[in-house]
Amino acid sequence: MRNLIVLLCFIVISCGVFAQNSDVFISVAMPANSILDSNTKTILKNKLLAICTVEGVAATECGAIAMIPDVNILDEKRIEGGMRNIYTTELCITVSVRNVITNTVFNTLSISTKGEGYSKVESLRSAIKKINENMYGTFAQATKKKVADYYSSSVVALINKANTLSAQQQYSEAIALLTTYPESLAEYPQISTAIQKIYQQYLTQNCEEVMMMARAEYAKRNFERAADLAASVPPTCSCFNAAKSLLISIKKDADIVYQNEFNDRRERLKSKERITTATINTAREVAVAYYKRLPNYVFFW
C-alpha cells in the first residue's frame, strides 16, 4: 500500500481535471513496450490530445478512457551523406480508444507519417512531429459519441461490476471503473451513489493511507490540502480521532487567515452536499493511483 501513497502525491499537481462541464475525459496511455523514447512519447501524447480537442471532450492525465498508440515501423533507411548519414523512417500508428479496465474498444484510428534525421531517434521524432492533428476532427467527434452512448447504456452493468470487485475487496479497481463516468449524463447520480458507497468500504480498511497522505501534506506545510484529506475521514473510521487531532494541529500552525478557513471547512463538511463532494474527489484520487499501477500502460503528463 506504500506505493499508493507515493502515487497519490502526484495528484495535486497533475490530475485536477475532473470538471463538471465536460462530457468525456480522455487520457493517453503508452504501451509499456513502446519503441519511442520519453521525449518522443510526450510529443505523440500532445498530438493525440490535440486531435481530441473538441467541445465536450477534456484531457486528463490518467483515466479509464485512454488513447493507446501502437507505433509500427513500416520502413527505415540510412542514406549515406558527405558529413553525416541521414535516417528516414515511415511509421504506421494505430490508435485505439478503449476502457483500460474493461478493455472495451470505442474507436480506432490509423495514422501514416514519415520523418528524417541524423539518427533513428531523430527520424522517429520527426515523423511524430509531422502528424497533422487537424485532419482527424471527425474521429474525435465520433469517439465522443461512442463513449457517451456506451456509458448511457451501461450504467447498471458498470455498477454491478464495481460491486462485484468491491465484494472481492478490489476497491481501487471498483472506484476507478466508475469515476470516469461523465457527470453530464442523466444517470450520473446512480454512479455517484455507488462511488460513495464503495469509497466508504475502501476507507474503512485503508483510512490510515489517507492519514499518511494528510500528514505528508502537513509536513510540507500544505495546510489546505492536509485539512481536506483529514476532514474526509468519517467518524465511523478507526483513525477518526487521529484525523481530528491533525486538524487541531493544522489550525494551531496556520496563520489567522487559515485558521478561520479551517473552522469554516469543518462546518461545511457537515452538510450533505459538501460531504458528497469531498468523498467523490478523494475517491477519484484512489482511481488515479490505480491507473498509475497498471502494468501494461504508462500514464504521464
The contacts of residue 48 (CB under 8 Å, 6+ apart) are 28, 67, 69, 95, 133
The pLDDT tens digits of the residues spanning 186-195 come to 889 999 999 9
Residue 64 lies in a domain: no
| Cell, residue 129 | 512531429
| Per-residue pLDDT at 8 exceeds 60 | no
Looking at residues 227-232, what average pLDDT do you find? 82
Residue-level pLDDT at 16: 36
Of the chain, the percentage scoring pLDDT greater than 70 comes to 84
What does pTM read for this prediction? 0.69
CA distances from 246 to 40, 58, 59, 209 (A): 44, 35, 35, 14
The pLDDT tens digits of the residues spanning 11-26 come to 332 333 333 444 688 8
How far apart, in whole angstroms, are the C-alpha atoms of residue 232 and residue 109? 42
| Per-residue pLDDT at 161 exceeds 70 | yes
Residue 247 lies in a domain: yes
Give 263's pLDDT tier (boundaries 50, 70, 90): low
Count of structural domains, the chain: 1
Residue 178 lies in a domain: yes
| Per-residue pLDDT at 10 exceeds 50 | no
Residue 114 lies in a domain: no
Residue 70 lies in a domain: no
Residue 197 lies in a domain: yes
Give 160's pLDDT tier (boundaries 50, 70, 90): very high
Domain boundaries, position 287: 153-294
Parallel, antiparallel, or unpaired: how do β-strands 57-59 and 24-31 relate? parallel
Looking at residues 201-222, what average pLDDT do you find? 87
| Cell, residue 144 | 465522443
Residue 46 lies in a domain: no
Give 157's pLDDT tier (boundaries 50, 70, 90): very high
Residue-level pLDDT at 250: 86
Residue 96 lies in a domain: no
Q: What is the mean pLDDT of the chain?
A: 82
Give 105's pLDDT tier (boundaries 50, 70, 90): very high
Residue-level pLDDT at 18: 36
| Per-residue pLDDT at 241 exceeds 80 | yes
| Cell, residue 203 | 476507507
Burial of 110: CB neighbours in 10 Å, binned 0-12, 13-18, 19+: exposed
Per the model's pLDDT, the better-predicted residue between 213 and 299 turns out to be 213
The pLDDT tens digits of the residues spanning 28-67 come to 999 888 899 989 999 999 999 998 887 778 888 778 889 9
Residue-level pLDDT at 300: 64
Residue-level pLDDT at 258: 53
65 with 97: CB under 8 angstroms?
yes
Give 264's pLDDT tier (boundaries 50, 70, 90): low
